[in-house]
Structure 1
Amino acid sequence: MRLLRLGAPGAERPALRTDDGAFFDLSPITDDIDGAFLAAEGIDRARTALAAGTLPALDPTGLRIGAPIARPMAVLCIGQNYAAHARESGAEPPAQPILFFKHPNTIVGPDDAVRIPPGSSRTDWEVELAVVIGKRASRLAGPEDAAAHIAGYTVSNDISEREWQLERSGGQWSLGKCGPGFNPLGPWLVPAEDIGDPQSLRLRSWVNGAPRQDSATSDMVFDVAFLVWHLSRFLTLEPGDVINTGTPEGVALSGRFPYLGAGDVVELEIDGLGRQRQVMTGPEGEAA
């Protein structure tokens, strides 16, 4: 089962996609897929309604795919959480998780065009496993308690402007992470119980069809359960919050590939979680 949101920006409708590719309208049980829906056992209610045959069929033809979670209160990001990426960034793997934030309004649909900001010359891509919180988590006793607080997983592109992140931020990475559209998310939210082990997923990216990243979540320095527990010790995670868990090696920051320009096409994929595709546009919206 996959949860998604279909329609124009700001007017998405909640939907469900089954494993065999059928689409159903979730409007009979919720106005949207958001923190309130998740906190109210929304995923279980969606399963029950699907099994009971009470969800209307939905034709997705021509409908834009929006981000699978609406209006998260926070987008928390973990830096350098793959050892090889830390080293290509000029650092050793961290001894504890590095936390930074993205503005929630950076989240857009998985196939929405992304505008390169005016004055940017170092816009970069980052495929990441995103965790969506389903139940408030505060001061968890240990990593073994994390699973009960995770609603599911989705694909994230943690787009970055490296000059702003590393040279103009005063040490606060968020300055280079918060451009409009800098967090394509989706295409769908897959419930945690449908994924099983989040540390056994392959994640990849391409630019203009050429391979860039190819790794596995098993290579994380800090795994998903540890991250949720660790963060809960310092802040309260709320239903609908998104955690970007870090990116593997193969980004432009490595010096092996050019940064993104107008007309470039970025594609991302994680096993079982679907695929994204963004066309980069220039500062005035031109594609090339």
Structure 2
Amino acid sequence: MKILRFGAAGAEKPGLLDKDGTIRDLSGVVSDITPETLKNGAIAKIAAVDPSTLPAVDPGVRLGPIVEGVRNFIAVGLNYVDHAHETGAAIPSEPILFNKAPNCIVGPNDTVTIPKNSQKTDWEVELAIVIGKTASYIDEADALSYVAGFAVCHDVSERAFQTERGGQWMKGKGSPTFGPLGPWLVTPDEVADVQNLDMFLDLNGTRAQTGNTKTMIFGVAHLVAYISQFLQLDPGDVITTGTPPGVGMGMKPPRFLKDGDSVRLGITGLGEQQQTFRAYKA
């Protein structure tokens, strides 16, 4: 299934993309897609419904973030071999973890704001995992059974804040709008091999990133199990899993986003996003 949320920001409704590409209104089935509804079996309730019986929605409707009320937004750094090489960094021996602010999550096509005083805002197409049930000290062999689904995430990053201002990476990762998430939450049954998905990102119509999840250093199952050794993962938590090569920081010379730039990104089977970047205005 491809589950989504649609409508004006702050007033989204749950929806489903049917096999013909029509958005269907799920409001009569579940109240929303939230940590609470996921915990209480929202995925199973949606799966039991015939999509053709649900009201159709205007195809031009705004798409919101795929989960409302995310509590933990966890990110993995330097998790692609070819991206680590382009940055000149050593291959990590264990996953590098950091936090993105949950309130930076926005819809997949919403405008992204370049932060005040930013000089080095950068792009990163990533595969995101949405947790479906509580996971604590789980084994890698069981890890995928804790996943509600997968999605496209744009891990927007401010590199000067991240690497030049001291302290943790989160300084450059959680500015408002720095987490476009969607367009869909794709359930695992529709993803034949999560470790073999093509990824891309275009900047102003020119290809910048090309990659595949097969070059991950630490795969999805490993990451879910690994993170569960350090904190409890709950329904609705999001893990974004790293980016392939082609980020602005790795270009020669480096290139960063400016007011008016357009970015389009996507992952095979998980859909596409498109954002316009705008400079901060008080």
Q: TM-score, normalised by structure 2?
A: 0.97
- Write out per-residue CA displacement over residues 213-238 of structure 1, whole angstroms, 9 at most, x where no aligned residue: 11100100000000000001111000
Report whether the alignment pairs 1:93 with 2:91: yes
Kept after mapping to 1: 8 A contact 2:23/2:59: no
Report whether the alignment pairs 1:43 with 2:43: yes
Structure 2 counterpart SS, 1:71:
coil
Structure 2 counterpart SS, 1:148:
helix
AA matched with 1:132: V
AA matched with 1:208: N
AA matched with 2:22: A
**1:217-232 superposed matches below 5 A:** 217-232=213-228
Report whether the alignment pairs 1:243 with 2:239: yes
Kept after mapping to 2: 8 A contact 1:169/1:176: no
CA distance, structure 1, for counterparts of residue 70 and residue 280 of structure 2: 27
CA distance, structure 2, for counterparts of residue 177 and residue 99 of structure 1: 12
Alignment partner of 1:80 out of 78, 99, 105: 78
CA distance, structure 1, for counterparts of residue 229 and residue 281 of structure 2: 43
Structure 2 counterpart SS, 1:198:
coil
Aligned to 1:4: 4
Kindly state the Cα deviation for residue 32 of structure 1 after the two structures are TM-superposed: 0.7
Kept after mapping to 1: 8 A contact 2:208/2:247: yes
Report whether the alignment pairs 1:275 with 2:272: yes
AA matched with 1:50: D
CA distance, structure 2, for counterparts of residue 180 and residue 48 of structure 1: 36
Structure 2 counterpart SS, 1:49:
coil
AA matched with 1:23: I
CA distance, structure 2, for counterparts of residue 61 and residue 247 of structure 1: 30
Kindly state the Cα deviation for residue 35 of structure 1 after the two structures are TM-superposed: 1.4
RMSD: 1.3
CA distance, structure 2, for counterparts of residue 235 and residue 165 of structure 1: 23
AA matched with 2:146: H
**1:47-126 superposed matches below 5 A:** 47-50=47-50, 55-126=53-124
CA distance, structure 2, for counterparts of residue 159 and residue 56 of structure 1: 35
AA matched with 1:135: K
CA distance, structure 1, for counterparts of residue 143 and residue 192 of structure 2: 14
Alignment partner of 1:183 out of 175, 179, 192: 179
How many pairs were matched up? 281
Unpaired runs of 5+ residues, structure 2, are none
Kept after mapping to 2: 8 A contact 1:83/1:92: no
- Write out per-residue CA displacement over residues 174-204 of structure 1, whole angstroms, 9 at most, x where no aligned residue: 0000110001010010001111321010011
Kept after mapping to 2: 8 A contact 1:76/1:243: yes
CA distance, structure 1, for counterparts of residue 60 and residue 205 of structure 2: 24
- Percent of matched pairs sharing the same residue: 45
Kindly state the Cα deviation for residue 152 of structure 1 after the two structures are TM-superposed: 0.3
- Write out per-residue CA displacement over residues 58-113 of structure 1, whole angstroms, 9 at most, x where no aligned residue: 22244211011111111000000001211222211100000000110010000001
CA distance, structure 1, for counterparts of residue 50 and residue 257 of structure 2: 42
AA matched with 1:60: D
Structure 2 counterpart SS, 1:164:
helix
Unpaired runs of 5+ residues, structure 1, are none
- Write out per-residue CA displacement over residues 130-152 of structure 1, whole angstroms, 9 at most, x where no aligned residue: 00000100001x21110110000
Kindly state the Cα deviation for residue 18 of structure 1 after the two structures are TM-superposed: 1.1
